[in-house]
């Protein structure tokens, strides 16, 4: 299997959907090699939003497979999981599926944000839906919120790792950082 080898010094390099799919599949190969249920569970947990963006139906099936670990031999679980993982990662995400993931993420912060922050977030999501922002830009804007509320679950999602765009400013960079120093 091909390894990701991006040239991070190349400003024009963009991770392709194939790169993303290959990366996720490669990480699952690590799980298979470990042959440990706890590693499969950690993999599934870390890739929940990635899988949701690619195929919600397969995400549900994968969750059921993970939950069946006491009923079926682990080798069969790994094979079945891999089959459904490949199906899920073979389906490219859409604006609609990414928007759904973003709204799920928003749900983690909804009660903690003030009205202005909610408005900014929803406006940013609308700009994404209209094609005025990329998924990478909107995820980069969400990242400071994850750390602000110390949400380890979201911070560990491969969705942010693989789709965030580090080349653009965030909505919180416009705030005077010296106020917080």
The residue-averaged pLDDT of 126-144 equals: 92
Q: What is the mean pLDDT of the chain?
A: 85
Residue range 88-102, pLDDT digits in tens? 999 999 999 999 999
Residue 3 C-beta-side C-alpha neighbours within 13 Å: 3
Looking at residue 167, what is its pLDDT? 57
Domain segments of the chain as ranges: 17-89, 95-174
Residue range 27-71, pLDDT digits in tens? 999 999 999 999 999 999 999 999 999 999 999 999 999 998 888
Which is higher by pLDDT, 116 or 181?
A: 116
Q: Using CA atoms, how far apart are residues 24 and 181, in angstroms rounded to an integer?
A: 38
Q: Using CA atoms, how far apart are residues 16 and 19, in angstroms rounded to an integer?
A: 5
């Amino acid at each position: 299997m091909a390894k990701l080898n991006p040239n991070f010094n190349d400003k024009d390099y963009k991770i392709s959907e194939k790169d993303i799919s290959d990366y996720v599949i490669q990480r699952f190969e690590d799980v298979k090699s470990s042959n440990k249920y706890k590693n499969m569970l950690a993999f599934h947990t870390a890739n929940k939003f990635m899988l949701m963006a690619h195929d919600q139906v397969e995400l549900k099936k994968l969750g059921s497979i993970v939950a069946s670990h006491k009923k079926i031999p682990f080798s069969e679980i790994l094979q079945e999981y891999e089959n459904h993982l490949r199906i899920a990662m073979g389906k490219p995400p859409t604006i609609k599926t990414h928007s759904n993931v973003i709204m799920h993420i928003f749900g983690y912060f909804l009660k903690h944000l003030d009205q202005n922050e909610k408005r900014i977030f929803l406006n940013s999501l609308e700009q994404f839906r209209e094609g005025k922002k990329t998924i990478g830009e909107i995820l980069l804007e969400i990242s400071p919120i994850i750390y602000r509320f110390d949400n380890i679950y979201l911070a560990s999602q491969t969705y942010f790792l693989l789709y965030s765009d580090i080349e653009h400013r965030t909505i919180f960079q416009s705030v005077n950082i010296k106020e917080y120093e």
